[in-house]
Amino acid sequence: MTAPVLADALGPRGRRTARIVSVVTAAAVAAAVTLAFHRLRDNGQLDADLYRPFTQWAAIRFYLVGLLNTLKVAAVAMVLAMAIGVLLALLRLTRSLVLRVVATIYVEFFRGLPLYLLIIFSAFALPNYGIDLSLMTALILGLTVYNSSILGEVFRAGILSLDRGQTEASYALGLGYWQTMLLVLVPQAARRMLPTIVSQLVTLLKDTSLGVVIAYEELLRRSQIAAEFFGNTLQSVAFAAVLYIIVNYSLGRLAQRLEVRQRRRLGAGAINVAGAGEDLAIVAAQGEAGRADR
Amino acid sequence: MDVVLDNLDEFLGGMQGTVVLTLVSFACAFVLGVVVAGFRVSPVSPLRFVGAAYVNVVRNIPLPAIFILFYFGLPNVGIGYSRFTASIIILAGYTGTFVAEAVRAGVNSVARGQAEAARSLGMTFPQTMRTVIVPQALRTVVQPIGSVFIALIKNSAVATVISVPNLTKSVERVVTDTAEFTPVYLGAAIAYLLLTLPSEQAVGWIERKVAIRR
């Protein structure tokens, strides 16, 4: 938990207010939990039968395979999106007007569309044009196209944030445009943007659940199937939600740690790109960095 | 292009759905986010805990999962809302976490001296927040909150999962009826870009308007 930066040690009156607010908050939380408990019990949602599947290996396995599919799709889409993202960033920074325009149109077009639309297009419209993809490939295609446009912007911002001296030094050494970019600028930009890239990975991982609309058996779809089979929608889907929270929260923490490290190393150099993860752990970063300095 | 013109009512209705979903849930998300951000920086630890719990739980569940859980799961405990109301609650609750994180970052970017000065004038914590910190914080987070808004326009498409009228739902319906693909998808894509690209411009404009140079 981050320490509050807006108040110093409370005086007697402040402490009293804080105590009162604490008690009221605790009471409100307790009331909410009790209410939820009664709701669940009165509607028979606490019956052991509804939870029994989650004690059986077959059901757990069913979920884990779903999670595995989710991770597989996310991993493939992320790798492809990063590769295409780097390419887009480089194209947007070339001197060739045509390439710049093409890359800009790609980025602006796909960044402005809902992923939902791209995924149903890949799965249901492409066969009409004679392109028949498996559900998994369709999902990966949608995710890749969308995320590459976002990562393209991330990499571009990263490259632009680097000191000009880097570019000038490489040119002075006789490196060409592509060599400068790939050997000097992109590696530095990628490191600098690592926290943003990881939080984009969290977003991508959550977005794989759109597989549910094309009936690809990732985690959410499988929880839906389990819900129909066991007749316990609330429990089955909530179980998947818990798995999502565990995975995403861990990745989110990782992004935060990376950002903290980054800030310590670069001062305020870690940049934040609009449209990306939105995971701004500035307090945590400043707090922890401050502590490390001391 | 005839398909789009023949089904113009459907598309306009869908567009209206997307706009209404976005605006209403953004208004709710904004208020919610600012309040939760206030919780997260308050000197009262239970409030901080509640804020953090809400943000970390809701933000890490995929939006489609929240839709399914809320709309198909909660009726099992006697909580049922209309599709539209459910969508607003879900989109606002989900987006609220992102607003909260953005505002929190903004609050923490306000110079320490501001809060100290306010306190030495004898202001209480809520007063300090309301009159000194939040107005400055919001100015610095126009860009991140703008991206949250644009993400919300796109996320409102997920309401299709529970068949709430919106642009993406219209696409599904018209494609099913007519088996025409190119004009329908292209039309919808243009419609979405007509919403997202100007929003981006507007965000930039607002930012230039309110930015404080420090």
Judge whether A25 lies within some domain: no
Residue of A104, A117, A288 to mutate for B, most B C-beta atoms under 10 A: A117
Task: Give me the pLDDT at residue A269, please.
Answer: 47
C-beta atoms of A238 and B73 within 8 A: yes
C-beta atoms of A233 and B76 within 8 A: yes
Task: Give me the pLDDT at residue B179, please.
Answer: 86
Task: Give me the pLDDT at residue A260, please.
Answer: 85
DSSP line for chain B: -HHHHHTHHHHHHHHHHHHHHHHHHHHHHHHHHHHHHHHHHSS-HHHHHHHHHHHHHHHTS-HHHHHHIIIIIGGGGT----HHHHHHHHHHHHHHHHHHHHHHHHHHHS-HHHHHHHHHTT--HHHIIIIIIHHHHHHHTHHHHHHHHHHHHHHGGGGGGGT--SHHHHHHHHHHHH---HHHHHHHHHHHHHHHHHHHHHHHHHHHHH----
Judge whether A3 lies within some domain: no
Gap between the Cα atoms of A294 and A292, Å rounded: 5
Judge whether B4 lies within some domain: no
Higher model confidence: residue A286 or residue A189?
A189
**A43 contacts in chain B (CB < 8 Å):** 76-78
What range does the domain containing B129 cover?
Answer: 18-164
pLDDT of B194 above 90: yes
- State the ipTM, two decimals: 0.90
Tokens of B191: 């419609």
Judge whether B23 lies within some domain: yes
Exposure of B45 in the CB half-sphere (CA atoms within 13 A): 5
What range does the domain containing A157 cover?
Answer: 55-244
Does residue A117 contact residue B168 with C-beta atoms inside 8 Å? yes
Does residue A63 contact residue A219 with C-beta atoms inside 8 Å? yes
User: Other CB atoms closer than 10 Å to residue A133's CB: what's the count?
Assistant: 15
Q: How far is A25 from chain B (nearest CA, A)?
A: 6
**B107 contacts in chain A (CB < 8 Å):** 6
C-beta atoms of B192 and A213 within 8 A: no
Task: Give the A:B interface size as CB pairs under 8 Å.
Answer: 200
Inform me whether the C-beta atom of residue B212 falls under 8 Å from chain A C-beta atoms: no
The model's pTM is: 0.88
Task: Give me the pLDDT at residue A2, please.
Answer: 44
Task: Give me the pLDDT at residue B158, please.
Answer: 96
C-beta atoms of B47 and A21 within 8 A: yes
Judge whether A238 lies within some domain: yes
Judge whether A131 lies within some domain: yes
Q: Which CATH number do you get for residue B62?
A: 1.10.3720.10
**B197 contacts in chain A (CB < 8 Å):** 108, 112
Judge whether B191 lies within some domain: no
Q: How many domains does chain B divide into?
A: 1
Judge whether A156 lies within some domain: yes
Tokens of B161: 């999962």
**B124 contacts in chain A (CB < 8 Å):** 17
Q: How far is A131 from chain B (nearest CA, A)?
A: 13
Judge whether B3 lies within some domain: no
Which of A17, A213, A279 lies nearest to residue B161, judging by beta carbons? Answer: A213
Report the 3 state secondary structure along A92-116.
HHCCCHHHHHHHHHHHHHHHCCCHH
Looking at residue A221, its amino acid is R
Kind and range of the H or E element at A223? helix A219-230
Which of A18, A45, A202 lies nearest to residue B76, judging by beta carbons? Answer: A45
Provide CB contacts within 8 A for A34, sequence distance 6+.
none
Residue range A19-55, pLDDT digits in tens: 999 999 999 999 999 999 999 999 888 888 889 889 8
Q: Which CATH number do you get for residue A149?
A: 1.10.3720.10
Determine phi and psi for A193, rounding to 5 degrees. Answer: -90, 5
Does residue B25 contact residue B91 with C-beta atoms inside 8 Å? yes
Gap between the Cα atoms of A166 and A222, Å rounded: 49
- Range among A171-180, A274-283, B2-11 rated most confident: A171-180
Inform me whether the C-beta atom of residue B61 falls under 8 Å from chain A C-beta atoms: yes
Residue range A57-78, pLDDT digits in tens: 999 999 999 999 999 999 999 9
Judge whether B210 lies within some domain: no
Residue of B19, B56, B67, B77 to mutate for A, most A C-beta atoms under 10 A: B77
Q: How many domains does chain A divide into?
A: 1
Q: How far is B7 from chain A (nearest CA, A)?
A: 18
